[in-house]
Amino acid sequence: PASAAANDSRYIDVLILFTKAKGNAKLAARFRTCVASMLRHASVPIHYHLVSDDESAAVAADAFRELAEPGRIAATTPPYRVRAHSVSEMARQLHGLVSHLQAHFSYKPGAYYSDALFFLSVALHRVLDLRRVIMLDSDLEFRGDIGALYDHFARFKDGHVMGMAHEMQPVYRHTFSAYRGRHPGTRVGGPPPGGLTGYNSGVVLLDLDRMRRSREYNDLLNASVISDLAAKYSFKGHLGDQDFFTLISLEHEDLFYTLPCTWNYQLCTWWRDHGYTDIFEQYFTCEGDVMVYHGNCGSQIPS
């Protein structure tokens, strides 16, 4: 049942997609690290929303049971609640909303139900009745307080509907290379601080109320608008939601709050060795104390 947390405004809502975890020990271990580190530093009660198949929900339940054992987390840790949402039900609802995006932002030619999940953050405002949600990957390790991350919602300017940190690799320099070739000096795909570097969706602050209310945002979910944008920027991606957000950010920067990179410090360096050695460091920079490490592309998180 929807717990009391649903009506308790002290709780912050945190959503994690957690699927196909049965038999995937690495994924299960990463999930435990993510949740344990988050709770260890948390100053606020957390309502977890897991989008899972039954078997993964059971793996997650084991992880939470383990955490609840004496001595695992401090007695001063704020309370937390866990609710599992059916991944197949979410996929079914999402599919109707995002199937037209799948052609532009995923590998596979067909628009499969399950692939709709890669666009969960894009249309979450249409399927989940909450005001604000922090959506997280499970390959994260917290070094700071998620309450302080949540406080960034208060820094959104008028018009911002969501917040993310920059992508820390030249992924979009690559994706937009054809456009960049035709437009010397463009900001598209350029490094921070001046460039339109693109976003990483491992940590996303979603103001679902604002997403529901924003005419500008909802118009961008339209099939022909996206086809036109993809054609204009010669765009073909495969990273799902973050590709979509990056593409629309080129002409709608005003929708996005840029979260400090310290809240999503990405460790993947794949592109350093794949044609971008010389300019890699321009993208792979982040000043300040790391609050959240993101072990993307399977990267090891420093101990």
* Interface with ligand UDP (CB under 6 A): 16-20, 27, 137-139, 202, 296-297
The site partner of 214 among ligand UDP, Mn ion, none (C-beta below 5 to 8 Å per kind) is none
User: Beta strand pairing status for 140-142 and 292-294?
Assistant: antiparallel
Q: Tokens 């692939």: give the residue.
A: 115
Whether the ω angle into residue 193 lies within 30 degrees of 0, i.e. cis, is yes
Measured between alpha carbons, how far is 161 from 256 in angstroms, rounded to an integer? 6
Q: What is the 3-state secondary structure (H, E, C) of 275-300?
A: CCCCCHHHHCCCCCCCCEEECHHHCC
Residue 139 in contact with Mn ion, rule: CB under 5 A: yes
Q: Considering the complex, state which of residue 197 and residue 200 has its C-beta at the smaller distance from Mn ion.
A: 200
16 binds, among ligand UDP, Mn ion, none (CB under 5 to 8 A by kind): ligand UDP
Residue 296 touching Mn ion (CB under 5 A): yes
Q: What residue 50 binds from ligand UDP, Mn ion, none (CB within 5 to 8 A, per partner kind)?
A: none
3-state secondary structure 133-151: EEEECCCEEECCCHHHHHH
Among 190, 191, 198, 202, binds Mn ion (CB under 5 A): 202
- Give CA separation, 92 vs 61, 89, 117, 218, 287, in Å: 24, 5, 9, 20, 41
Q: Is the dihedral of CA 264, 270, 273, 279 positive or negative?
A: negative
**Of 137 and 160, CB closest to ligand UDP:** 137
CB atoms within 10 A of CB 159: 15
Nearer to ligand UDP, 137 or 141 (CB): 137
Asked whether 149 and 206 are in contact (CB, 8 A), the reply is no
3-state helix, strand, coil in the chain (%, to 5): 45, 15, 40
C-beta closer to Mn ion: residue 115 or 137 = 137
Torsion, Cα 195 208 238 255, to 10 degrees, reads: -20
Residue 18 interacts with which of Mn ion, ligand UDP, none, CB < 5 to 8 Å by class: ligand UDP
When CB distances are held under 5 to 8 angstroms depending on the partner's kind, the choice from Mn ion, ligand UDP, none that residue 57 binds is none
| Min dist. Cβ of residue 74 to ligand UDP (A) | 25
**Distance, CA of 250 to CA of 246 (rounded, Å):** 7
- Of positions 13, 115, 137, 167, contacts Mn ion by CB under 5 A: 137
The yes or no reply on residue 141 touching Mn ion (CB under 5 A) is no
Q: Which residue is nearest to ligand UDP (CB)?
A: 137
The least distance separating ligand UDP from the CB of residue 19, rounded to whole angstroms, comes to 4
Least distance to Mn ion from the beta carbon of 202, Å?
5
17 binds, among ligand UDP, Mn ion, none (CB under 5 to 8 A by kind): ligand UDP
Q: Where do runs of H (alpha helix) occur along 23-130?
A: 25-41, 54-67, 87-105, 120-127
Kindly tell me which of 19 and 249 has the beta carbon lying closer to ligand UDP: 19
Q: Rounded to the nearest whole angstrom, what is the least distance from the CB of residue 294 to Mn ion in the complex?
A: 6
Nearer to ligand UDP, 189 or 202 (CB): 202
For residue 19, the partner it binds in ligand UDP, Mn ion, none, with Cβ less than 5 to 8 A by kind, is ligand UDP
Nearest alpha carbon to residue 35 among 4, 7, 87, 73? 73
Residue closer to ligand UDP by CB (options 167, 207) is: 167
Could you list the residues that contact Mn ion (CB under 5 A)?
137, 139, 202, 296
